[in-house]
Amino acid sequence: MNKKPQVLCHKLGLVFNDPQLFTLALTHRSVSSYNNERLEFLGDSILGFVIAQKLFEAFPSASEGVLSRLRAGLVNQSSLADLARGVQLGDYLLLGAGELKSGGFRRDSILSDAMEAIMGALYVDQGIEASRRWIENLFVERLQSLSLDNWQKDPKTQLQELMQAKKLDLPMYTLITMSGLAHEQVFKVQCTVSVLPDFCVGVGISRKKAEQSAAEQMLQLLIKSNQ
């Protein structure tokens, strides 16, 4: 295992018995036919199961349809990509020259697939309980912020209503950068609220997605600070 994957492994709070499994989880198909796709397939199923069980236990009165939508709100490409960006996972990906040149390390699909591949690799290396503990810890704040009252509302709406309920100024969204080709642009948006000195930066393939990402991060920050 080279230095960079070791650094990421430490940041994620993981120790692998077989470090090569972790390296494989970061290896995109543009590098080799020996890549992370099979681990991603496995991790996707494990993630869905772990989150489904947590929701089943947390919301005993919720119908199957509501549970499915709650899970979809947590387990999706954008959510996983946001988690990946939180640990700068893109800096550790093993990509082919073409993907590197086109900015594949920023792409939601590649980032989310790598996150699921890491989950699959952890399962192969240490079994379901280790995978469950890590996934539950990864999603703990998002799970805690869920309620049957707000599951259908997007993060921007939730944040706006929270500010209104506290009789505070509405959140401010500022476009920081817009980069990339016309068909593959990446937006960075900053979100600020009057009650906190900190700000959050969201990244997305549209300004709307970037704002939603920033709003979601700000909601988590407010939960941490108990504001």
Q: Does 64 participate in catalysis according to the annotation?
A: no
pLDDT at 86 over 60: yes
The CATH class of the 155-225 domain is alpha beta
pLDDT confidence of 92, banded at 50, 70, 90?
very high
18 is in an annotated binding site: no
Catalytic residue of the set 82, 99, 108, 116: 116
- Please tell me the predicted confidence (pLDDT) of residue 142: 87
Cα(13)–Cα(177) distance, integer angstroms? 31
Per-residue pLDDT, averaged over 31-41, amounts to 95
Beta strands at 172-179 and 186-192: parallel, antiparallel or unpaired? antiparallel
Q: Does 216 participate in catalysis according to the annotation?
A: no
- Of 162 and 206, the structure prediction assigns the larger pLDDT to 206
pLDDT at 82 over 60: yes
- Please tell me the predicted confidence (pLDDT) of residue 2: 41
Cα(100)–Cα(163) distance, integer angstroms? 40
Contact 214, 202 (CB under 8 A): yes
- Please tell me the predicted confidence (pLDDT) of residue 1: 40
Domain ranges of the chain: 3-144, 155-225
Cα(227)–Cα(220) distance, integer angstroms? 11
116 is in an annotated binding site: yes
Fold of 3-144: Ribonuclease iii, N-terminal Endonuclease Domain; Chain A (1.10.1520)
Written as six digits, the tokens of 87 are 């640990």
DSSP, collapsed to helix, strand or coil, labels residue 193 as coil
CA 162 to chain centre: 22
Per-residue pLDDT, averaged over 206-212, amounts to 92
pLDDT at 113 over 50: yes
Q: Which residue from 131, 143, 161 is spatially nearest to 50, judged by alpha carbons?
A: 131
Largest CA distance in the chain: 56
